Amino acid sequence: MSDCLFCKIIEGSIPSDKVYEDNTVYAFKDIHPKAPTHVLVIPKTHIPTLADAQDPTMLGELMLKVNHVANDVLNLEAGYRVVINVREGGGQEVFHLHAHILGGKKLPF
């Protein structure tokens, strides 16, 4: 998607602070962190929202990669939170599916 911010981050035409990449996902630091550690994990395929996701393999991969990044890259052994905002009502601002990883402190509800 040529007009998608996160597709541009994946292709490298917009810079990002990458923490992990493989054949299916790309993970980078959120530009406005809401916790000491705040990373976004995005599928390399353009899917606008979780509500548009149809592929159980892609969704399963995304969740397993979230756990891999949190544990093995970010070292969040104490735990972390995963947030997926869905559409405007859920607070989604960038319409390329992404999971927020938040951690590095005890998170309030």
Whose Cβ is closer to ligand 5GP: residue 49's or residue 67's?
49
61 binds ligand 5GP (CB under 6 A): no
Answer yes or no whether residue 93 interacts with ligand 5GP by CB under 6 A. Answer: yes
Q: Which one from 38, 96, 98, 100 is the annotated catalytic residue?
A: 98
Residue 37 site contact among ligand 5GP, Zn ion, none (CB < 5 to 8 Å, cut-off depends on kind): none
- Whole-number Cα distances in Å, 30 to 50, 51, 69: 19, 22, 14
Q: Which residue, 19 or 58, is less far from ligand 5GP as judged by CB?
A: 19
Helices assigned H by DSSP within the chain: 5-11, 56-68
Which among 25-33, 46-54, 63-71, 97-105 is the span making contact with Zn ion, rule CB under 5 A? 46-54
Site string for ligand 5GP, 15-54 (x = CB under 6 A): -x-----------xxxxx-------x--------------
Which two tokens mark 60?
Answer: 């399963």
The residues pairing with 27 across neighbouring beta strands, listed in sequence order, are 20, 41
CA distance 65 to 67: 5
- The sign of the torsion formed by the CA atoms of 92, 43, 40, 26 equals negative
Active site residues: 98
